[in-house]
Each structure stands twice: as C-alpha cells, then as structure tokens.
C-alpha cells in the first residue's frame, strides 16, 4: 500500500466515503456538536452551515421541540409495522402533509428517503397505468441533467453520464430530454424560446417512443445539485403540464430538495398553480436531518384506482414507522410555528441580492439562480464567454476546503464531470436570519477571492 492508499484506507473507516470526489478527503474535521446554524468540531472550531448539509436540515440543528417529540415517541413505540398497526404519529403526519400540500395530495406513501420515494413514484405510475387499462405504458421520461437518487430505478431516470457509464448495463434505459438551462443561450435566443423548445423536446420524445408506451415524466421543478438550482421561465411548466395531459402521462415532481418550504412555498409546485403535478416526491427537509424520511404524495382517487386492482405492490420494512412519522410531524409543526416558509421567501430575496453583489465583485461567479432558500452560484473562468473553469483546477474542491478554513461548511460537487457547468449550492437552514445571511455571503466572498487569486496567480483564469 502506498502512502496515498494508506491515507484513503484510514479515511474510509467508519462510513467509507466517496473519495473520488476529492472535496475534503482525510482532512475533514470531526463533528463534536451542532446547534442552530452552526457546527463545532472536536478542536472547538465553529462552522456556519451554508447549505443545510445536502439541503436537508431545514430547521437547523438541535431543535428542542423535535428532539422532545422524538424522545416521547421513542418511549411510546419506536416501531410498529403499518401492516399490523395504525399509529397516531402516522395519521398526524399525513394530516399535516395533506393540509400543507393542498388538494390532490392527500395520500402519502411514507418511506425512508428520497431515492425510495422516487422508486415508489415510478412503480406507482406503472401500476396506475395498468389500473387505468393501459398496460403498455411503462417508460418514464426524465431530463438530462437531473438527479433523482442513487438506487438503480432512480438512477435510471437520473441524467448523469458518469453514473450511466458505470451502472448503465445494470439498469433499464429510460428516455431523456434536455433540461431547460437558460444561462448559456444561442446567439439571439431568449430564455422563453429555450423554455419552449425544451418543453417541445418532451412532446417529440413522447412521439418518438410511442405515447402508448410512456407512463410518466419526472422532473425537479427547481433544480438541485444536478442543475445548480435551475428555475425555468414560467411558460415551461404550463407547456410541460399541457404535453403530459395531451399524451395521457403522469407528471411527477421530484421535490426532494425543493419541497417542505425551502422554495418559499410548501411545495415548489405551488409557484406554478396552473401546472400542478399528479405525484410529488418529498424527502430531505421533511425529516430535516432528524430522521430518515421520504414521501410520495398522490390523490385518493389514484390510490383508490390502484387499490381496486389489488393494491400497491411495493414496500419497505421502515414504511411509516412511528418514530420517523412523529419526528416528521414535529418538523412540520415547527416549520409552521416559526413561520419558516415565509422566512425562506424573505431571506431568499435577501440572499439573492447579496449573492448578486458577490457576483459583481468576483471574476469567477457568472450566475446566481434559484428560488427562496434553494439557490446556487455558477463558477466560470470568463464571465463574458461563460467558459467553465477547467476541471483539472478543482475550483469547487478548493472552495469547499477554503470554506472550512474560513468557518463555512459548503456543499457542492461537480455533476456530470462538469459538462454542464460547476456551481455551489447556497441553501442555508430555513431559520437563517439577516445577520447570518450577511455572515454567509461575507465569508463566501472571502473564500471566492482567495480561490480566484490562486487561479489568477497560477495563470489559470
């Protein structure tokens, strides 16, 4: 074993990590405790959480009401299988969810995370097609790039070329259409034209596949890491809804990152009320880092149709376990009590304007985008040409490491090998206040300036 391999072997004890991403590597600090917006490591250094972990800890860290609900439920019953027992915790979570999500989303299927929830939606869409008497429909079209999870079904609808190259032979290939990026347009092209043509690409793909074979289209209404918080022009959402209706397929919104209040609405779908999806997938923010929790939301009419044919042929051991349900319910109660959805909208507006100021001063920030507290900044080598920083300079990795030095926990990695660009997620917990937005953006400006100075010194930008 050479010294590098020995260091990796040492680093991969515990939970072995994705060392090929090279972000923090063996130098990652050891967590001691976390509270509010801050982490402290075992050496007593403090870090502000600029991204809620991987866009998860909506309530920040250590919320007392959630911890209390967790303890109380654990003392009552951690686990009771929903096939054998109903639970108050599950009913309370379902009621809160259907009230917050609104009509059409009154039946949750409760799982343990985003990938499981996406798998549930894919299988439900297939069974619903059969229940409606259309058994030839099974394909699920998705966008490229996109991320819908790490399990093989979710990976098959994820537009990620690297994952596809490695795991493709193990998956059922699913059709893809381009994501509606509007940062790099053709000369003379408007964002609206790009939105129209990418929506039209969906109609063309359905025709190419044969409409009678397609069960659903899945997309992130506000992008996550795969597209750097991509928000399309409004007309895109209406066009997509109309195309799904025209060809009789289900529209699935993957709101694993954008849901649970992060975008300034409980569902990101609520930003486009005339284009609501048939199924919604939630995770991350509903468990908020306190418990593994994911959900697929469907209407009772759809669930009844599947039930009439024998029921949903899908399940996991931890489905709707009382402990996760009680924690999820407490997270939603705290989200409402602290008025965090409105705070996400207010702080999102402030964050956007502060990030735009950072962009104006930084030679390597080319774009700021997103909604509410789901935002990203795109890194470029040249703001005029919008050229990306060559991958071999590992700008994202450098920024994450410099962030740790400056007391900022930053979440990013480069999806699709950087083919579509490189960005940093800016997604603090929904409890963030004005001073903390300033703390994040001031720290970020310093980190970016250290990174761009290094790149300039080495003649790389």
CB-based contacts of 68: which residues, under 8 Å, 6+ apart?
330
Out of 58, 63, 96, 115, point to the residue binding ligand PLP (CB under 6 A).
Answer: 115
Does 118 engage in binding with ligand PLP (CB under 6 A)? Answer: yes
What sign does the dihedral 215-157-146-291 (CA atoms) show?
positive
Which of these ranges, 79-87, 142-150, 263-271, 337-345, lies near ligand PLP under the rule CB under 6 A?
Answer: 142-150
- The residue from 23, 199, 283, 402 that contacts ligand PLP (CB under 6 A) is 283
Nearer to ligand PLP, 255 or 378 (CB): 255
Exactly one of 92, 110, 206, 256 binds ligand PLP (CB under 6 A); which one?
256
Which tokens sit at 424?
């940093």
- φ, ψ for residue 79 (rounded to 5)? -140, 130
> What letter would DSSP give residue 418?
G
**What does each C-alpha distance from 333 to 298, 323, 424 come to in angstroms?**
22, 15, 30
CB of 55 to ligand PLP, least distance (A): 7
Q: Min. distance of Cβ 285 from ligand PLP in angstroms?
A: 11
Q: Is 54 a residue that touches ligand PLP (CB under 6 A)?
A: yes
Please tell me the distance from the alpha carbon of residue 383 to that of residue 334, in angstroms, as a whole number: 41
Beta strands in 166-316 (DSSP E): 176-178, 214-219, 250-254, 279-282, 294-298
Residue closer to ligand PLP by CB (options 82, 150) is 150
Stretch that binds ligand PLP, among 11-19, 143-151, 260-268, 392-400 (CB under 6 A): 143-151
Within 162-201, the residues that bind ligand PLP by CB under 6 A are none
Which residue number places its CB atom closest to ligand PLP? Answer: 114
DSSP annotation of 457? H
Among 60, 104, 108, 114, contact with ligand PLP (rule: CB under 6 A):
114
Among 106, 119, 160, 220, binds ligand PLP (CB under 6 A): 220
> Residue from 106, 160, 254, 278 that binds ligand PLP (CB under 6 A)?
254
Burial class (CB in 10 A: 0-12, 13-18, 19+), 158: buried
Of 149 and 175, nearer to ligand PLP (C-beta) is: 149
Q: Rounded to whole angstroms, what are the CA distances from 344 to 38, 117, 233, 447?
A: 18, 24, 21, 24
Taking CB under 6 A as the criterion, the residue among 147, 183, 237, 266 binding ligand PLP is 147
Nearer to ligand PLP, 327 or 445 (CB): 327
Angle between helices 322-337 and 88-101 (to 10 degrees): 40
Q: Are 159 and 226 in contact (CB under 8 A)?
A: yes
Q: Which residues form the interface with ligand PLP (CB under 6 A)?
A: 54, 113-115, 118, 147-150, 220, 224, 254, 256-257, 283
């Amino acid at each position: 074993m050479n010294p590098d391999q020995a260091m990796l072997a040492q680093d991969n004890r515990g939970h072995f990590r994705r060392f090929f991403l090279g972000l923090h590597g063996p130098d990652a600090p050891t967590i001691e405790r976390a509270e509010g917006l801050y982490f402290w490591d075992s050496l007593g250094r403090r870090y502000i959480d600029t991204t809620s972990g991987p866009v998860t800890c909506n309530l920040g860290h250590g919320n007392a009401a959630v911890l209390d609900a967790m303890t109380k439920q654990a003392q009552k019953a951690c686990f009771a299988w929903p096939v054998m027992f109903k639970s108050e915790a599950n009913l309370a979570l379902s009621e809160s969810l259907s009230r917050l999500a609104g009509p059409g989303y009154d039946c949750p299927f409760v799982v343990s995370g985003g990938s499981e929830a996406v798998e549930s939606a894919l299988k439900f869409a297939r069974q619903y097609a059969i229940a409606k008497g259309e058994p030839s429909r099974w394909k699920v079209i998705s966008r490229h790039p996109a991320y819908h999870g790490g399990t093989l079904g979710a990976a098959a609808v994820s537009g990620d070329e690297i994952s596809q190259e490695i795991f493709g032979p193990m998956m059922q290939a699913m059709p893809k259409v381009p994501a509606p990026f509007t940062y790099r347009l053709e000369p003379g092209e408007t964002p609206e034209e790009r939105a129209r043509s990418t929506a039209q690409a969906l109609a063309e793909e359905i025709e190419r596949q044969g409409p009678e074979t397609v069960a659903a289209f899945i997309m992130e209404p506000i992008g996550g890491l795969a597209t750097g918080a991509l928000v399309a022009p409004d007309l895109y959402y209406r066009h997509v809804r109309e195309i799904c209706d025209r060809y009789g397929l289900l529209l699935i919104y993957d709101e694993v990152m954008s849901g649970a209040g992060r975008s300034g609405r409980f569902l990101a779908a609520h930003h486009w009320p005339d284009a609501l999806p048939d199924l919604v997938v939630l995770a991350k923010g509903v468990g908020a880092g306190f418990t593994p929790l994911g959900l697929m939301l469907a209407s009772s009419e759809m669930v009844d149709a599947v039930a009439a044919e024998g029921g949903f042929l899908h399940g996991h051991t931890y489905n709707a376990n009382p402990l996760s349900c009680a924690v999820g319910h407490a997270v939603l109660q705290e989200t409402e009590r602290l008025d965090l959805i409105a705070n996400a909208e207010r702080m999102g507006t402030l964050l956007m304007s502060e990030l735009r100021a950072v962009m104006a001063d930084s030679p390597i920030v080319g774009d700021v985008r997103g909604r509410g507290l789901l935002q990203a900044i795109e890194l470029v080598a040249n703001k005029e040409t919008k050229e990306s920083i060559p991958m071999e300079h590992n700008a994202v990795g450098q920024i994450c490491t410099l962030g740790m030095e400056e007391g900022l926990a930053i979440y990013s990695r480069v999806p699709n090998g950087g083919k579509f660009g490189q960005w940093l997620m800016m997604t603090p917990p929904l409890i963030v206040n004005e001073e903390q937005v300033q703390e994040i953006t001031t720290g970020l400006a310093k980190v970016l300036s250290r990174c761009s100075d290094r790149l300039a010194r080495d003649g790389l930008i």
